[in-house]
């Protein structure tokens, strides 16, 4: 019995030491990442090109400007393309905030004002980014001409959102919705982020390398706060009902996050346009960029 107790004690100490080491390494990496973004102040990271009426691109959860690749460069002949990383993600600042919808919209507002994108704006958004886009357009309706939403997550509330996420991927839901598992996973990712950015692309060969490597660019407060305070707490149907005719849904028949019939009903209710594609939730830009370009060109 004494030997067993000693083994358990040694194991507990080893686990505690490992956890402590991960916390220290993750904290050091976080400080380095925050310092690298300090030059942005209170504005978001932007990549832009072209001239003309602005088109703003907002990616989904854990995605960055890399998500859009170069698939929309043909539009820069007549538009200014503005690709934005969300607050706490990608190359944008990672402040210690609650990451509420107000935090995200405030940072987006400061950024677009600084970019001069305050009239005749089009917003193209994917997944979580559609919630930011819809709420921003509802808040500044006189500035936004149209909103193109890819893979829109439509939930009536937190209960439905959690249920749907579990149905789509129980493993992913467990590691994102279970607080302790999610935190420890995120901290471990933060501790080994430089290594993961090199290794992970080889595990996802069907996705562009930059998309995969940037998926680990986020901090724990951002992922936790954004999930709980935005995705699970702010049903997108509310702002969409205020801007309905400006909206074009582009939705895949294989997108399991929101069943197509639900999107079809919502589009009919708010007077929005719906374009159906064949892809799943992750591959809109990879598989349907021609359809997205066509939608943008035909809604001029």
CA separation for the pair 277, 292 (Å, rounded): 10
Taking residues 3-10, report their average pLDDT. Answer: 58
pLDDT of residue 140: 98
% of the chain residues with pLDDT over 70: 91
Taking residues 287-299, report their average pLDDT. Answer: 86
CA separation for the pair 205, 211 (Å, rounded): 11
8-state DSSP, 122: E
What is the full DSSP assignment across 133-161? HHHHHHHSTTTEEEEEEES----SSHHHH
pLDDT of residue 257: 92
More confident residue, 5 or 282: 282
More confident residue, 88 or 282: 88
pLDDT of residue 251: 97
- Mean pLDDT over each residue of the chain, to the nearest integer: 91
Query: Residue 8's pLDDT band (boundaries 50, 70, 90)?
Result: low
Query: Residue 268's pLDDT band (boundaries 50, 70, 90)?
Result: very high
Domain ranges in the chain?
38-298
Taking residues 255-274, report their average pLDDT. Answer: 96
What does the pLDDT look like over 123-175, one tens digit per residue? Answer: 999 999 999 999 999 999 999 999 999 999 999 888 898 888 887 776 567 66
8-state DSSP, 273: E
Phi, psi of 139 (to 5 degrees): -80, -35
Query: Residue 114's pLDDT band (boundaries 50, 70, 90)?
Result: very high
pLDDT of residue 23: 85
pTM over 0.75: yes
Q: Does the pLDDT at position 22 exceed 90? A: no
What does the pLDDT look like over 44-78, one tens digit per residue? Answer: 999 999 999 999 999 999 999 999 999 999 999 99
Q: Does the pLDDT at position 272 exceed 80? A: yes
- Please report which residue ranges of the chain form alpha helices under DSSP H: 2-36, 101-114, 128-139, 158-168, 170-177, 179-191, 193-203, 209-214, 220-226, 237-243, 260-270, 284-298
CA–CA–CA angle 153, 148, 107 (5° rounding): 75
% of the chain residues with pLDDT over 90: 74
Q: Which CATH number fits domain 38-298: 3.40.50.1100, 3.40.50.1820, 3.90.1150.10, 3.30.2320.50?
A: 3.40.50.1820
pLDDT of residue 182: 87
Token code pair at residue 93: 């600042």
CB 49 within 8 A of CB 70: no
């Amino acid at each position: 019995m004494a030997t067993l107790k000693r083994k358990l004690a040694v194991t507990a100490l080893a686990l505690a030491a490992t956890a402590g080491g991960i916390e220290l390494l993750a904290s050091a990496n976080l400080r380095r990442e925050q310092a690298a973004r300090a030059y942005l102040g209170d504005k978001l990271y932007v990549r832009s090109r072209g001239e003309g009426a602005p088109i703003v691109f907002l990616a989904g959860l854990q995605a960055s400007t890399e998500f859009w690749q170069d698939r929309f460069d043909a539009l820069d002949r007549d538009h200014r393309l503005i690709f934005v990383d969300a607050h706490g993600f990608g190359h944008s600042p990672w402040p210690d905030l609650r990451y509420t919808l107000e935090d995200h919209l405030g940072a987006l507002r400061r950024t677009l004002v600084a970019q001069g994108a305050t009239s005749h704006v089009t917003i193209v958004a994917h997944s979580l980014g559609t919630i930011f886009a819809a709420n921003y357009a509802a808040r500044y309706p006189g500035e936004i001409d149209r909103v193109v939403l890819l893979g829109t997550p439509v939930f009536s509330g937190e209960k439905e959102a959690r249920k749907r996420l579990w149905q789509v991927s129980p493993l992913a839901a467990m590691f994102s919705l279970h607080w302790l598992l999610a935190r420890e996973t995120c901290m471990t990712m933060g501790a080994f982020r430089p290594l993961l950015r090199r290794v992970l692309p080889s595990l996802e060969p069907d996705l562009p390398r930059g998309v995969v490597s940037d998926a680990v660019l986020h901090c724990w407060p951002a992922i936790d706060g954004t999930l709980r305070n935005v995705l699970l707490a702010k049903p997108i149907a509310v702002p969409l009902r205020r801007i309905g005719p400006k909206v074009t849904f582009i939705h895949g028949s294989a997108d399991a996050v929101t069943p197509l019939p639900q999107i079809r009903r919502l589009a009919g209710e708010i007077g929005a346009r719906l374009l159906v594609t064949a892809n799943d939730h992750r591959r809109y830009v990879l598989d349907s960029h021609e359809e997205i370009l066509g939608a943008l060109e035909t809604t001029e």
